[in-house]
Amino acid sequence: MTTHDDQKRVLLIGGGSGIGHAVASALLDRGDQPVIGARDPERTAAILSAPLRDVPIVHADLADEATIEALTTAGPFDAVVSLAAASANGPAASFDRAAIHDAFDAKVVGPMLLAKHLTGSMRPGGVFVFSSGVAAWKPAPGLSVMATVNGAVSFMAEALAVELAPVRAVAVSPGIVDSGLWDSMGEDGKRDFFAATAAANPAGRVGTPDDVVAAVLLAVDNTFVTGTTLHVDGGGRLG
């Protein structure tokens, strides 16, 4: 771990797995102070890799406003980063109302409530970083809910950047990233999906968690970046 003078305190929701875990590791490695927000702090503590075991974990469920309001006690923050998601994939004929609500809670409603309760806990230059995703720009059958949710996230970042200024708001939009999210496809299914994605991506590959980490750190550090979406998708939205 390195240390630096302007150590940043960063609340990271979804920091127990995938891209969020990689962001927490990168923050710790450069001497910042990640605080992980998790729905089940005990379960998250049990799965954190060694360097992150001393990072504080606070209870944060983006579908539960009381837990969001209570996060003020963990501040002040330089950044509040939400990398949560709840999947509601499937064809329109099988849309599930509860799953759609969960998807909006995790990426839109919960983050709006983060803005409601935590704007007053932000240090100068502070930023909310929200997680969008390539599905909004590259719709496909079965992904309509996620496409709509991700699109809302990006418009939310623009609206909140204006409303909360000088506190900033930025959306990061990953493409297909090998974060562990796709492991449920099985080894062969994942390999074929990644090969097809890489072939269609102008960048010629799928993403790594570190690709997204770099964009999150840019949003955290660069106080001239607000009200925009940082696309980290290998150009996949265009392919």
Give the contact letters, 163-202, x = binds to ligand NAP (CB under 6 A), - = no: -----------x-xx-xxx---------------------
> Rounded to whole angstroms, how far apart are CA atoms 206 and 236?
9
Using CB under 6 A as the binding rule, whether residue 219 contacts ligand NAP is answered as no
Using CB under 6 A as the binding rule, whether residue 159 contacts ligand NAP is answered as no
Tell me how far, at minimum, the Cβ of 61 lies from ligand NAP, in Å.
Answer: 5
Query: How many residues interact with ligand NAP (rule CB under 6 A)?
Result: 31
Supply 238's token pair. Answer: 């265009």
Which residues are CB-neighbours of 207 under 8 A, at least 6 positions away? 174, 175, 176, 177, 178, 232, 233, 234
* The binder of ligand NAP chosen from 10, 20, 32, 121 (CB under 6 A): 20
3-state SS, 72-112, equals HHHCCEEEEEECCCCCCCCCHHHCCHHHHHHHHHHHHHHHH
Tell me how far, at minimum, the Cβ of 204 lies from ligand NAP, in Å.
Answer: 16
Using CB under 6 A as the binding rule, whether residue 59 contacts ligand NAP is answered as no
With respect to ligand NAP, which residue has the nearer C-beta, 2 or 184?
184
Tell me how far, at minimum, the Cβ of 65 lies from ligand NAP, in Å.
Answer: 11
Using CB under 6 A as the binding rule, whether residue 111 contacts ligand NAP is answered as no
175, HSE (Cβ side, Cα atoms, 13 Å): 24
Question: H helices then E strands: how many in the chain?
Answer: 8, 7
The CA-based dihedral angle spanning residues 18, 20, 25, 26, taken in that order and rounded to the nearest 10 degrees: 120
Burial class (CB in 10 A: 0-12, 13-18, 19+), 215: buried
* Residues of this chain, 120-149, that bind ligand NAP according to CB under 6 A: 131, 133-134
Using CB under 6 A as the binding rule, whether residue 58 contacts ligand NAP is answered as no
Using CB under 6 A as the binding rule, whether residue 26 contacts ligand NAP is answered as no
With respect to ligand NAP, which residue has the nearer C-beta, 136 or 161?
136
Q: 């960063």: which residue's tokens?
A: 10
What per-residue string of b and e applies to 64-85 under the rule 16 or more CB within 10 Å gives b?
A: eeebbeebeebbebbbbbbbbb
Using CB under 6 A as the binding rule, whether residue 18 contacts ligand NAP is answered as yes
> Which is it for the CA torsion 104, 119, 35, 207, positive or negative?
positive
86, HSE (Cβ side, Cα atoms, 13 Å): 18
Q: Which stretch binds ligand NAP (CB under 6 A): 80-88, 91-99, 136-144, 222-230?
A: 80-88
Tell me how far, at minimum, the Cβ of 4 lies from ligand NAP, in Å.
Answer: 26
Using CB under 6 A as the binding rule, whether residue 63 contacts ligand NAP is answered as yes
The binding site for ligand NAP (CB under 6 A) comprises: 13-14, 16-20, 38-40, 60-63, 83-86, 105-107, 110, 131, 133-134, 174, 176-177, 179-181
